């Protein structure tokens, strides 16, 4: 049982320290925010209002779903407020008797015209809409997974590993012939294993398309696993929490340039992994990899990694920038994904999911470079 009360209690403490009387979390089309599920258990399409008095009020689109999945104090149907976010916040403020002058913090991604509507409708309150504040606190909370989250991520990774093994077997036996074969196998097997499906749209790129960081379109009927380098980037979601891995299939006799790419990526991965430990700035790991590629006269065109959880990309971020403030902490679950790409020779990326532990790290997935 996920301890939503415990998570909310931590946020209520922050709200009290920062004089925030009401916090509004909205997960709607165009303004998605998985913090709704993180604090309530309700998957999506609702507004969650947290009050300084320690009450969680959920206003869902789907009342039946809320009865099954939400773990909150009060459920008030969104239809009661005309399916309008501003009227919803106004209505809840009136129901709880929120004192005049109270600070109400709305989502930082609220469009400016909608923010003005909030201000006009809540003139007796101080409406805050900012990128920092409570959203920085929520991001920090979500970056460090609790025991329940780690259990769900382990299960997602377990399913992922079983699919990686199956893909290797079917590519080697010729059963997987196209990008589409690989992508549809992942979708089918993830659900057959009890997962929610994929964490994001699977990216399958055969030798003619693996030069891209993210193949476009995501997959086609083109050959996959044939001579050269093929890339498969996918994740499995289990009860909301998703993995994210990338494996490279190296088939046939490779060119000297392709072998160099594989060697550099494997070296970069092995060199960065020991830096995934508590107390190490994430930019140090990214800098290590960039240095290895630079000495090999190559350049990685993306960050080294990111956090995973309810989102495929969330904090912390592992990038070689001076202004990157993130430091590895016990409980973070992140990716390690060095990669190189070339128009003529194709691409190579090796990505696994890593749990930061008290003493170092634990690799949760078994993605690899598969040679056939």
Contact 193, 155 (CB under 8 A): no
State the pLDDT at residue 3: 86
pLDDT greater than 60 at residue 83? yes
Q: Is the pLDDT of residue 316 over 70?
A: yes
Mean pLDDT of 90-112: 95
pLDDT at position 42 is 97
In this structure, what token pair is assigned to residue 240? 């909301």
Q: What would the DSSP string read from start to end of 86-110?
A: HHHHHHHHHHTTPPTT-EEEPPTT-
Where does residue 194 fall: left (phi above 0), alpha (psi -120 to 50 degrees), or beta otherwise? Answer: left
What the block records as the tokens of 18 is 């920062």
140-188 pLDDT tens trace: 999 999 999 999 999 999 999 999 999 999 999 999 999 999 999 999 9
CA–CA distance, 57 with 60 (Å, rounded to integer): 10
Mean pLDDT of 45-69: 96
* Main-chain dihedrals φ then ψ at residue 332, nearest 5 degrees: -75, 145
Mean pLDDT score, 259-267? 98
Segment 16-24 shows an average pLDDT of 97
Q: Is the dihedral of CA 307, 150, 366, 272 positive or negative?
A: positive
Question: Pairing state of beta strands 236-238 and 241-242?
Answer: antiparallel
With residue 353 as reference, give the H or E element that holds it: strand 352-356
Instruction: Tell me if 305 sits within 8 A of 337, measured CB to CB.
Output: yes
∠ CA 259-261-266 to the nearest 5 degrees?
95
By C-alpha distance, which of 282, 286, 276, 183 is closest to 236? 183
> Could you say which of 3.90.230.10, 2.40.160.40, 3.40.630.10, 3.40.640.10 is the CATH number of the domain covering 144-371?
3.90.230.10
pTM of structure = 0.95
If you write DSSP's letter for every residue of 272-287 in order, what string do you get? Answer: HGGG-STT-BHHHHHH
**Mean pLDDT over the full length of the chain:** 97
Assess if CATH 3.40.350.10 describes domain 4-142.
Answer: yes
4-142 and 144-371 have identical folds: no
Tell me the CA end-to-end span of the chain in Å, nearest whole number. 44
Pick from 318, 292, 321: nearest CA to 305: 318
Per-domain residue ranges of the chain:
4-142, 144-371
Which pLDDT does position 332 carry in this prediction? 98
Asked if 90 contacts 80 with a C-beta cutoff of 8 angstroms, the reply is no
What is the distance between the alpha carbons of residues 153 and 15, in angstroms, rounded to a whole number?
Answer: 29
Encode 230-256: b = buried (16+ Cβ within 10 Å), e = exposed.
bbbbbbbbbbbbbbbbbbbbbbeebee
Report the C-alpha gap between 119 and 129 in whole angstroms.
10
The band of 1, judged by pLDDT with boundaries at 50, 70 and 90, is low
pLDDT in tens, 102-113: 999 999 999 999
Q: Compute the distance between CA of residue 140 and CA of residue 317 in angstroms, rounded to an integer.
A: 12
Helix or strand or coil: residue 262? helix
Q: Which residues contact 323 (CB under 8 A, 6 or more apart)?
A: none
Residue 203 has pLDDT above 80, yes or no: yes
Do strands 126-128 and 103-105 pair parallel, antiparallel, or not at all (unpaired)? parallel
| The two three-digit tokens of residue 254, written as one number | 């490779």
Taking only the tens place, the pLDDT of each residue in 218-237 is 999 999 999 999 999 999 99
**What does the pLDDT average to over 284-306?**
98
Q: What is the pLDDT of residue 30?
A: 87
């Amino acid at each position: 049982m996920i301890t939503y009360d415990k998570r909310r209690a931590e946020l209520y403490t922050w709200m009290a320290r920062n004089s925030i009387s009401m916090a509004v979390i909205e997960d709607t089309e165009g303004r998605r925010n998985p913090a709704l599920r993180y604090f309530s258990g309700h998957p999506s399409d609702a507004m969650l209002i947290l009050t300084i008095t320690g009450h969680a009020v959920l206003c869902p689109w789907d009342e039946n779903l809320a009865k099954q999945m939400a773990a909150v104090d009060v459920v008030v149907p969104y239809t009661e407020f005309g399916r309008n976010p501003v009227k919803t916040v106004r209505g809840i403020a009136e129901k709880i008797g929120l004192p005049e002058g109270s600070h109400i913090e709305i989502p930082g991604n609220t469009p400016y015209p909608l923010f003005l509507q909030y201000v006009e409708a809540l003139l007796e309150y101080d409406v805050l809409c900012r990128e920092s504040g409570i959203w920085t606190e929520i991001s920090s909370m979500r970056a460090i997974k609790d025991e329940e989250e780690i259990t769900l991520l382990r299960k997602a990774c377990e399913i992922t590993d079983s699919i990686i093994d199956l893909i290797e077997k079917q590519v080697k036996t010729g059963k997987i012939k196209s990008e589409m074969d690989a992508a549809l196998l992942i979708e089918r097997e993830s659900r057959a294993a009890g997962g929610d499906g994929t964490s994001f749209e699977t990216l399958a790129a055969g030798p003619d398309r693996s030069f891209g960081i993210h193949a476009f379109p995501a997959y086609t009927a083109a050959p996959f696993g044939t001579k050269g380098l093929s890339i498969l980037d996918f994740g499995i979601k289990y009860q909301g929490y998703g993995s994210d891995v990338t494996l490279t299939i190296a088939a046939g006799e490779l060119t000297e340039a392709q072998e160099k790419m594989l060697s550099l990526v494997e070296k970069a991965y092995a060199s960065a992994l020991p830096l995934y430990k508590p107390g190490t700035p994430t930019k140090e790991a990214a800098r290590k990899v960039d240095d290895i590629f630079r000495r090999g006269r190559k350049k990685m065109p993306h960050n080294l990694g990111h956090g995973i959880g309810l989102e495929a990309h969330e904090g912390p971020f592992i990038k070689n920038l001076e202004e990157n403030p993130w430091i590895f902490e016990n409980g973070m679950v992140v990716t390690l994904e060095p990669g190189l790409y070339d128009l003529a020779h194709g691409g190579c990326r090796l990505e696994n999911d890593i749990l930061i532990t008290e003493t170092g790290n634990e690799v949760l997935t078994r993605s690899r470079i598969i040679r056939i």
